[in-house]
Amino acid sequence: MTSTRLADGRELRYYDAAPTPHPEHDQRDLPAIRVASEARFDPLLGEWVVQASHRQDRTFQPPADQCPLCPSTAERATEIPAPRYEVAVFENRFPSLAQDVADVAPLVDGEPLFERRPGVGRCEVVCFSDDHDASFGDLSAERVRLVVDVWAERTAALGALDGVEQVFAFENRGIEIGVTLSHPHGQLYGYPFVTPRTGRMLDRARGHHERTGGNLFADVLAAERDAGTRVIATNGTWTAFVPAAARWPVEVHLYPHRRFADLGEATDAERDDFATLYLDVLRRVDALYDVAMPYIAAWNQAPVHTGRDLAYTHLELFSIRRAPGKLKYLAGSESGMGVFVNDVTPESVAARLREL
């Protein structure tokens, strides 16, 4: 790993399978970063909502020859000064959360119902390849393994920062999902709270353990593997399946066979096996409708300080595409009430993905 700084002081790290020098320096004249971020508490749902007004000015779907994630050239400087790289990680120029944010009054309008706090945390961009036209599914198993190692290292690094309670690694792919940069990349968020989804899952896992003595995630995995009807693929240490109560038209979960709290606890064999199985899944998903599938790939890892004895690291991949040329929109039931209505059965999607 090689660490350097961009012209505005943000950290940039290069990760290479073999030691590779990166002597280049960012020659741009960049203004100082100004982050306006705060978290406000929703008393009706008991959830924190991040307000980050400075993100309105972030780069939005530039043409390929203006991509800020491509390597720099003599003619154009980008976020990555090197002329080539394998995996690069840098602090987001337009972060939702940051370490250096202004303090805020503890209440909105002085109202005790409306708590607020500074948007303390960290947001990083993870570039998987210097090839603008590639996708994660195009990567070699060796490159995916390197990315897994990066996720593990950065999860530990962000989790060690003051104020961070949960680290979330994810990839958004496709303009249909809302991606603003098409270069193959993902992100890492260090949140100053445990996210609502994780908190709810851990509450369910805690109740299940009190009732049965078992781990909810492990029991779900065992049930899916026993049934087999929704299993897509498996190997020595991981299984990919469509969950029985899938919310999305295309939804695949990848579970390790052994429980661990976060990727830092995964063995070499588990990291290798994930790389091969995930590539298999991505290629099946892209073949489903014979078009590049828009998706979100979301790592579920344990919070930094709570629930680590219950959490079970796994990846959830889902897409809003429900058929060729058709998208699943979050309409009244989903957006208004949080009740998903799926247009396809999990069993039919799993069967099709197995065939592919």
22 & 154 share domain: yes
pLDDT at 172: 97
pLDDT at 265: 98
- Do 155 and 266 touch, CB atoms closer than 8 A? no
154 & 30 share domain: yes
pLDDT-derived band at 10 (thresholds 50, 70, 90) equals: very high
CATH assignment of the domain containing 100 = 3.30.428
| Structure confidence by residue, pLDDT tens digits, 286-335 | 999 999 999 999 999 999 999 999 999 999 999 999 999 999 999 999 99
Domain boundary among 148, 166, 184: 166
350 & 214 share domain: yes
Three-state DSSP state, 264: helix
Asked whether residue 191 is domain-assigned, the answer is: no
pLDDT at 168: 98
| Structure confidence by residue, pLDDT tens digits, 60-83 | 889 999 999 999 999 999 999 999
Residues in the chain: 356
The average pLDDT across 237-255 equals: 98
Q: What are the residue numbers of the active site? A: 185
For the entire predicted model, the pTM comes to 0.97
66 & 135 share domain: yes
148 & 7 share domain: yes
Say yes or no to pLDDT of 54 above 90. Answer: no
The average pLDDT across 181-210 equals: 98
Tally DSSP H helices, then E strands, for the chain.
5, 16
47 & 105 share domain: yes
Which residue matches tokens 């120029």? 93
Put the strands of the sheet holding 116-118 in their side by side order: 47-52, 37-42, 116-118
CATH assignment of the domain containing 324 = 3.30.428.10
208 & 293 share domain: yes
pLDDT at 56: 86
Say yes or no to pLDDT of 285 above 90. Answer: yes
pLDDT at 280: 98
Q: Output the known binding site for Zn(2+).
A: 67, 70, 132, 183
118 & 227 share domain: no
The average pLDDT across 112-117 equals: 98
Give percent of the chain above pLDDT 90. Answer: 96
Three-state DSSP state, 97: coil
Asked whether residue 182 is domain-assigned, the answer is: no
292 & 150 share domain: no
pLDDT at 139: 98
The average pLDDT across 223-228 equals: 98
155 & 248 share domain: no
Residue 149: give the domain boundaries.
2-166
pLDDT at 59: 85
Asked whether residue 78 is domain-assigned, the answer is: yes
Q: What is the mean pLDDT of the chain?
A: 97
pLDDT at 266: 98
Asked whether residue 178 is domain-assigned, the answer is: no
60 & 124 share domain: yes
| Structure confidence by residue, pLDDT tens digits, 335-348 | 999 999 999 999 99
Q: Output the known binding site.
A: 67, 70, 132, 183
Asked whether residue 186 is domain-assigned, the answer is: no
Asked whether residue 179 is domain-assigned, the answer is: no
Judging by DSSP bridges, how do beta strands 87-91 and 116-118 pair with one another? unpaired
Q: CA 336, CA 332: separation in Å to the nearest integer?
A: 5
Question: Alpha helices, DSSP H only, in the chain?
Answer: 141-159, 196-212, 216-227, 268-288, 346-355
Domain count across the chain = 2
pLDDT at 81: 98
286 & 340 share domain: yes
Q: CA 183, CA 292: separation in Å to the nearest integer?
A: 14
Asked whether residue 247 is domain-assigned, the answer is: yes
Say yes or no to pLDDT of 229 above 90. Answer: yes
Q: Is 268 exposed, middle or buried (0-12, 13-18, 19+ CB in 10 A)?
A: exposed
Say yes or no to pLDDT of 57 above 90. Answer: no
pLDDT at 18: 95
How many Cβ atoms are within 10 Å of 169's Cβ, its own excluded? Answer: 26
Q: CA 71, CA 130: separation in Å to the nearest integer?
A: 6
pLDDT at 196: 98
Asked whether residue 185 is domain-assigned, the answer is: no
| Structure confidence by residue, pLDDT tens digits, 90-108 | 999 999 999 999 999 999 9
Q: Strand pairing partners for 231?
A: 241
Closest listed residue to residue 191, CA positions, set 149, 217, 155: 155
Say yes or no to pLDDT of 12 above 90. Answer: yes
